[in-house]
Amino acid sequence: MNERALRIAGLILVVVVGVWAGVRIHSGRLAAEHLAGVRTPVGAASPPTPSDLIEEAPTPVKIPDRLPEFSLTALDGKSTPIGSWKGKSLIINFWATWCAPCRREIPLLESLSGQWAARGVQVIGIAVDHRDSVSRYAQELNIGYPLLIGEDALDVAGSLGFASPVFPFTVFTDRRGEVVALYVGELHKPQADLILSTVQTLNDDQVQLKQARQSIAEGLHTLRSSKPG
């Protein structure tokens, strides 16, 4: 096994250990599915459950004001800087093929990509995984948004304030590259719509970054506190 393959394998092992801490967020739903004998199809969207909306997910130490500059490898093998999407609001989703909540998010991300593209929003997936696995999975699901893969994905997560990232997590930026929100855990449509609507008010210069973050925090708290019908 060459040095590159060893590094990727080691990186994935580190993330697997880190993701253990986030398993409890989904344990209630997974246990219910097991008892009922129902398996969630790969790539199938799932509605929010009480544990998704009420449990507190781990948060970064400090959200940076701006998205750091970085480059990762695309599926075609080319190094791609995140600055390639300068001027767009970004939804950057950190995921892996072995992460069940990550796989469940993909249909929603595809939907958001189509729904918000005309308003200058770009979805980007960053996979902490082997390129062959990501390529096969992307073809299987016909993922339409750009995917980046990298040994340095954990370094990128670290620059966003995560010492031990829990997957999935999603970064939302405005058109100026300001980090508006970091959402940890499986994303659902109510949370996504809340965050993206606030990003648009920021893009339209109706609010400042601090106000936008506070509005999102309050909205997410309301969603977690609400009893799903």
Question: Dihedral of CA 199/203/204/208: which sign?
Answer: positive
State how far the Cα of 18 lies from the Cα of 12, in Å rounded to an integer.
10
What are the strands of the beta sheet with 169-173, ordered from one edge?
A: 79-81, 71-74, 147-149, 121-127, 89-95, 169-173, 179-184
Average pLDDT on 11-27 reads 37
pLDDT tens across 130-184, in order? 899 999 999 999 999 999 997 678 888 888 887 777 889 999 999 999 999 999 9
- The CATH number assigned to the domain holding 142 equals 3.40.30.10
As for how many domains the chain has, the answer is: 1
In contact, 53 and 201? CB cutoff 8 Å: no
What's the pLDDT score for residue 159? Answer: 87
Residue with tokens 């106000």: 211
Distance of CA 84 to the CA centre of its chain: 19
| Domain interval for residue 103 | 3-225
Rounded distance, CA 182 to CA 172, Å? 6
State the pTM of this model: 0.76
| Per-residue pLDDT reduced to its tens digit, 85-116 | 999 999 999 999 999 999 999 999 999 999 99
Q: What angle, rounded to 10 degrees, do the helices at 189-203 and 100-116 form?
A: 40
